[in-house]
Amino acid sequence: MSFTTFDHDGLALNCWDDGGPGLPVVFQHGLCGAEPQVAEVLPPVSSRPEAGRSQGDFPAYRRLTLECRGHGRSEPGPLDRLSIATFADDLAAFIEERVGRPVILGGISMGAAIASRLAVTRPDLVRALVLARPAWVTASAPANMAPNALVGRLLAEHDPAEARRLFEASATASDLAAHAPDNLASLRGFFAREPLDVTSALLTRISADGPGITPSDLGTLSMPTLVIGHGQDAIHPMAHAADLALLIPQARLVEITPKAIDRGRYTAEFRSSLHGFIRAAN
Taking only the tens of pLDDT, the chain with its 282 residues reads 689 999 999 999 999 999 888 899 999 999 999 999 999 999 877 666 554 444 455 788 999 999 999 999 999 999 999 999 999 999 999 999 999 999 999 999 999 999 999 999 999 999 999 999 999 999 999 999 999 999 999 999 999 999 999 999 999 999 999 999 999 999 999 999 999 999 999 999 999 999 999 999 999 999 999 999 999 999 999 999 999 999 999 999 999 999 999 999 999 999 999 999 999 987
pLDDT for 1 equals 62
Same domain, 239 and 164: no
The last residue of one of the domains, among 174, 189, 204, is 204
Instruction: Report the C-alpha gap between 130 and 135 in whole angstroms.
Output: 14
Same domain, 135 and 50: yes
Give the number of other CB atoms < 10 A from CB of residue 250: 12
Same domain, 36 and 15: yes
pLDDT for 53 equals 41
Q: Are 34 and 71 in contact (CB under 8 A)?
A: yes
Cβ partners under 8 Å of residue 187, min gap 6: 147, 148, 151, 167, 173, 176
Instruction: Report the C-alpha gap between 146 and 138 in whole angstroms.
Output: 16
Same domain, 108 and 12: yes
Count up the domains in the chain and report the number.
2
Instruction: Report the C-alpha gap between 78 and 82 in whole angstroms.
Output: 7
pLDDT for 178 equals 95
Strand order in the sheet with 11-17: 2-8, 11-17, 61-66, 23-28, 103-108, 126-132, 225-229, 251-255
Same domain, 29 and 169: no
Q: Cis (ω within 30 of 0) for the bond into 195? A: yes
Instruction: Report the C-alpha gap between 267 and 257 in whole angstroms.
Output: 9
Residue closest to 115 by CA, chosen among 166, 60, 64, 47: 64
Residue closest to 94 by CA, chosen among 129, 67, 117, 70: 67
Cβ partners under 8 Å of residue 168, min gap 6: none
Same domain, 115 and 152: no
pLDDT for 54 equals 40
Full domain range(s) for residue 249: 2-140+209-281
The last residue of one of the domains, among 160, 181, 204, is 204
pLDDT for 2 equals 82
Helices and strands of the chain, counted as H and E runs? 11, 8
Length of the chain (residues): 282
Residue closest to 155 by CA, chosen among 103, 200, 122: 200
The CA–CA distances, whole Å, from 269 to 40, 44, 207, 234, 272 equal: 12, 17, 28, 20, 5
The last residue of one of the domains, among 158, 174, 204, is 204
Instruction: Report the C-alpha gap between 210 and 177 in whole angstroms.
Output: 26
